[in-house]
Amino acid sequence: MHTPSQTRLRVRYAETDQMGVVYYANFFVWCEIGRVEFFRQLGWDYKQMEIADDCHLPVVEAKCRYSAPARYDDEIIIETTVTAVRTYVIKFSYRVLRLAPDGNQLLAEAETVHFTVDRQMQKKPLPEKYQQAIRATML
């Protein structure tokens, strides 16, 4: 199995809610950060995919299972992998962990499914160079 892309962030005060933990929807913001870093670690820039290749990845399905809360100022690791890639579809899988000296703690597992579209939201095949490089991460 390949190594997932990793990225880190620190929980912002703005991301907490009055229960004293990170508001659940913010985990999907973190998944987006994981996706962008997945591409960057392949040598690409999602910004350039949008501008140069007119290739956008709207989310068509998103899910998350939460096993423990994230709290203000926690250091968070997002592990991102691609679990499927087809002409018009990419599927990402994420593990959200809390960095801890005595072993990282799993906070959530998530998945997102994306279509590949152009600026006008019309289906458009994912350019072959991306498909190939992504497949290489799945071996």
- Using CB under 8 A as the criterion, which residues of the chain lie in contact with a second copy when the complex forms? 12-14, 16-21, 23-26, 28-29, 32-33, 36, 45-47, 56, 58-67, 69, 72-73, 121
Secondary structure (H, E, C), the chain: CCCCEEEEEECCHHHECCCCCECCCHHHHHHHHHHHHHHHHCCCCHHHHHHCCCCECCEEEEEEEECCCCCCCCEEEEEEEEEEECCCEEEEEEEEEECCCCCCEEEEEEEEEEECECCCCCECCCCHHHHHHHHHHCC
User: Which lies closer to a second copy via its Cβ, residue 3 or residue 18?
Assistant: 18
User: Which lies closer to a second copy via its Cβ, residue 65 or residue 102?
Assistant: 65
CB of 139 to a second copy, least distance (A): 28
CB of 74 to a second copy, least distance (A): 9
User: Which lies closer to a second copy via its Cβ, residue 63 or residue 135?
Assistant: 63
